[in-house]
Amino acid sequence: MPASVLALFAKAPVPGQVKTRLCPPLSPEEAADLYRAMLLDVLDQHAAGTGAERVVWYTPPSSFAWFGANVPAGYRLLPQYGPDLAARMAHVVWVHHQEGYQRIVLRGTDSPTLPMDSIERAFLLLESTDLVFGPDRDGGYNLIGLRAPCERLFQVEMSRSTVLEQTLGHARAAGLAFQLLPSHHDVDTAEDLERLAPGLSEARTPRTLDWLRRAPPQGSAMIRGSFGPRGPCCPLGSSYAFPPNHRRGRQETDRTGRPSSGRSVAILTGADCPPCPRRMTDRDP
């Protein structure tokens, strides 16, 4: 048996039950479609991996048939157990430790652009340290690696901006040595969508990239990038200001959703060329 195990946390892509913080701007169906794309991309990224056992921990338990039909060969499927995410993570670590694994890495399935180097480095660092964290830019973490269970690490309220800070405090109190990987991001909020596009590629994230190409106007307007055909004067990933209520734009808003300017913004897509957005005027509503 390999000494290492990669545990991937996954949810069935059911509208209204996944990525609810993306609604709005997305509808529940659109958010679920995006998560399904990210989940399957992440699973494909690890499907050909060697050297570590691969386990998908899924929820809800009733979704076994969906995961059995969609997860690539080479993964073991196990249902998550526990009243909340922190408890379920602690349970996963305990189970794999009881199975005899010496290096246990947990990651989510909503960070499709997380570099594979981060996973490999996490296992490498666990040869000489107790804990490894992959920090999220929102104050949480997208990856945690351990050599043994420590319930204290999971005695925090997840989905808070202080999760990593509190967890590191528990690690210090328990006398555990830890290392931090380069920070990255998962996709939880509309703001996270803006970070998503630059890291997508046909090779690693084909489904997520396809979702972006098909993204509804309210979703694509949040993403500062596009991958469709364009005219020679339109650089990839550009955004342009339009008059208010222009048919190709959306009203700019601040983080509270209130209008922040008199401009509308549209993200360049293949449908915008021709004519070039730079040549559009108030007479082209």
**Nearest-angstrom CA–CA distance, 266 and 249:** 4
- Of residues 29 and 258, more confidence is placed in 29
pLDDT value, residue 161? 79
Average pLDDT, the chain: 80
Per cent of the chain over pLDDT 90 is: 62
Q: How confident is the model at residue 278 (pLDDT cuts 50, 70, 90)?
A: very low
Rounded average pLDDT over 272-280? 35
- Strands of the sheet with 53-59, listed across from one edge: 76-79, 53-59, 4-11, 103-107, 141-146, 131-135, 178-180
User: Which positions ≥6 away from 209 have C-beta within 8 Å?
Assistant: 200, 201, 202, 227
- The fourth-level CATH superfamily of domain 4-180 is Spore Coat Polysaccharide Biosynthesis Protein SpsA; Chain A (3.90.550.10)
pLDDT tens string 76-109: 999 999 999 999 999 999 999 999 999 999 999 9
Rounded average pLDDT over 159-164? 83
pLDDT tens string 118-140: 999 999 999 999 999 999 988 88
Rounded average pLDDT over 151-164? 87
Residue 234's Cα: distance from chain center in Å? 29
pLDDT tens string 207-257: 999 999 887 665 555 554 433 333 333 333 333 333 333 333 444 444 444
The answer to whether the pTM exceeds 0.85 is: no
User: Which positions ≥6 away from 259 have C-beta within 8 Å?
Assistant: 251, 252, 253
pLDDT value, residue 244? 37
- Given a cut of 60, whether residue 259 has pLDDT beyond it is no
Which of 33-37, 71-75, 85-89, 234-238 is the least confident region?
234-238
pLDDT value, residue 160? 78
Domain boundaries, the chain: 4-180, 228-285
Rounded average pLDDT over 31-53? 93
- Strands of the sheet with 239-242, listed across from one edge: 239-242, 259-267, 250-253
Rounded average pLDDT over 149-161? 87
Q: What is the dihedral of CA 91, 145, 112, 55, to 10 degrees?
A: -50
pLDDT value, residue 218? 53
Q: How confident is the model at residue 112 (pLDDT cuts 50, 70, 90)?
A: very high
- Given a cut of 60, whether residue 284 has pLDDT beyond it is no
- Given a cut of 80, whether residue 67 has pLDDT beyond it is yes
CA angle at 221 for the pair 224 and 207, rounded to the nearest 5°: 75
